[in-house]
Structure 1
Amino acid sequence: MALVTCRFFADTLGINTTMTVILPEGPKSQIGVNSRTGGKGKHKTLYLLHGLSDDDSIWTRRTSIERYAGEYGLAVVMPNVHRSFYTDMEHGAPYWKFLTEELPAAARAFFPLSEAREDNFVAGLSMGGYGAFKWALTHPERFAAAGSFSGALDIAKHVKELEVNDSYFSRTFQLVFGDKEVKGSDADLLELLERSKTGGHTDRLPLLYQSCGTEDFLYEGNQAFREACRNTGYQLTYEDGPGNHDWTYWDDQVQRFLKWLPL
């Protein structure tokens, strides 16, 4: 596998930013690595999203994602969106537009990545789990599957509770959402699930993989999302068990997610 950190100017954001990219390489002479090239065509791609306190480098620093993805011949694109919650911020930059429009175009301009829906997947942890499901539910035509590990999935309730009880998160949410009502908006995953039920073309909805540790502070919100999937009839693969909001759990879950993917 080849690991590349790409610095480029993002027109959407008006700043230089970075993305870390893993590309299938598959040299047979590389010792101790079982990797595949992914074929001669354009690569199947996983967009892998970071959490609130991290950046595009975190998955390569805290896990062996380069080695894991190599077993499947899968390219991995990891963008940096800072503390934006993958949203066009009320008091900040339009990171949702950057993520969903400029980033895929830039990544495909730099690297041979497939545009086919069946070759594209998105996943993330915590804030990134929220971003992954938001992207997949908003643009189901782009992804075959999506994954959330310990995701902040009931964002409307999460914002309300932490605005009152946690000044640290309150400042972040004020920058991201301002005074807007999150519940029932385009940022509310439970609302997006409801829309998927009435939108038709259910055979074209991305497969969803959701996991959360039972000791995680986001466990209740994950249960709410799971119940919403049941109520809407949305197909969901769900896993929980002992685990906290930490890299021990996420390192295991990203491996399980890769095995689950319809590659």
Structure 2
Amino acid sequence: KCQGFGHIASDCPNRRTITIIKGEAYEEPEEAQGNLEREELEPVYDEELVVADHGESLMIRQSLHASAKEAHWLRNNIFHTRCTVAGKVCDVIIDSGSCENVVSNYMVDKLKLPTKSHPHSYKLQWLNDESEVKVTKRCLVTFSIGEKYKDQVWCDVVPMDACHLLLGRPWQYDRRVHQDCYANTYSFIKDGIKIKLTPLPPSEFDTNKNKSKPLVSLITKAHFTEAVEEVQTMCFESNQEVVLPEKIEQPLADYMGLYMPL
């Protein structure tokens, strides 16, 4: 006997075959279903059904409330601040990508700032070759930020809605400005005083205030002349009512039903 448990003798997994040849006995493994090699038998284990634990969960709050981490507002905002010009508070943007200092023509007109002819007039193209503005004037803008910083900057006068005053590369170069890109601050020395300009948070300025305004289509005289030559007919809409003199109304009424072929 194999001394095992859980089976009968005919189903014993350890059955052995004894062959007697000329009085001598040999033990041979039993072949199963015609196979020449005996397959190894895997051990038999008792199966345990395992279910999830129940109780107070440590991570359930984090799993339910997980959300994408929002980027800091400084990462996606350019430098906005405010200055005072002629007693009025005006919006300022500092942008190192601008090759010139720029002032809005609206601000120049409202505050009646004196202008001069630009020594090197040029054409300003915002997005494409079709829309361009000719820059012919410049203005010496006197402004202050806070109580310590007062300055004068030559600016090109252009139509602009993003801000009233845009300080570009010329201002940064002349003042030897150092920019902290992480904190988005600008530091320099003016009149022996170290100045550090800090940005306004997005809640302090509205970048969408001008989005509701209709877009203005800019066209040059050359493009207008070219368009007229192509179509030969131009139409325009006017809300003003045209009043004809009485001497003209009567002849027009008499010949209302007539027309002359082209």
The TM-score by the shorter chain falls in which range?
A: under 0.3
Greater share of strand: 2
TM-score between the two structures when normalised by the length of structure 2: 0.22
Greater share of helix: 1
